[in-house]
Amino acid sequence: MTETETPPRTPSLHFDWDEFGCHDYMHTPYPVDIRIDRGVRLANELERVRALLSSRLHRDCPLWLDSVYRTLAHNAFVGGRPRSQHLAGRAADVRCPYGCMYGMFRNAIEVVAVEPDSLIRYVCFYPHQGFAHLDIRPTSRLVVEEA
């Protein structure tokens, strides 16, 4: 973000900065200096997943974010990887929406991730816990895994 750019009031239509903040005891906000470069871009990818699911389910399909940004201390507390993309504000752990089968949720993320203009570069599915990790790390190759 340059000095002349002002971060938007929300990262996108259906998400707000509070959802992107750390869930530590201080409720550390998503850093202002990365909101345009990372937060808005991540939110746009999440909006694409939400839109695809909503279209397929013929109803609004909100996404629940378990974790986006994490401080170093909170990342260690939750057992996160030392070089987690959550530390850089580039990752989201997303719960499978209520009323949606995990397979449909997984497929929507995969469809969005392989689109030519997608910024999603890493996805890890956690089917037994009912969520997926996706991130927009700065690399050219998409990696999809299952935990």
The CATH number of residue 80's host domain is 3.30.1380.10
Please give the model's pTM, rounded to 2 decimal places: 0.94
Query: Under a CB-based contact definition with an 8 Å cutoff, are residues 94 and 49 in contact?
Result: yes
Q: Which structural domain, as residue segments, surrounds residue 67? A: 17-146
Flag whether 61 is in a domain.
yes
Kindly tell me if the per-residue pLDDT of 85 is higher than 90: yes
Nearest to 13 by CA among 57, 60, 55, 58: 60
Q: Residues 97-141: pLDDT tens digits?
A: 999 999 999 999 999 999 999 999 999 999 999 999 999 999 999
**Dist. CA 79–CA 47, nearest whole Å:** 27
Kindly tell me if the per-residue pLDDT of 3 is higher than 60: no
Query: Under a CB-based contact definition with an 8 Å cutoff, are residues 102 and 44 in contact?
Result: no
**Dist. CA 4–CA 110, nearest whole Å:** 36
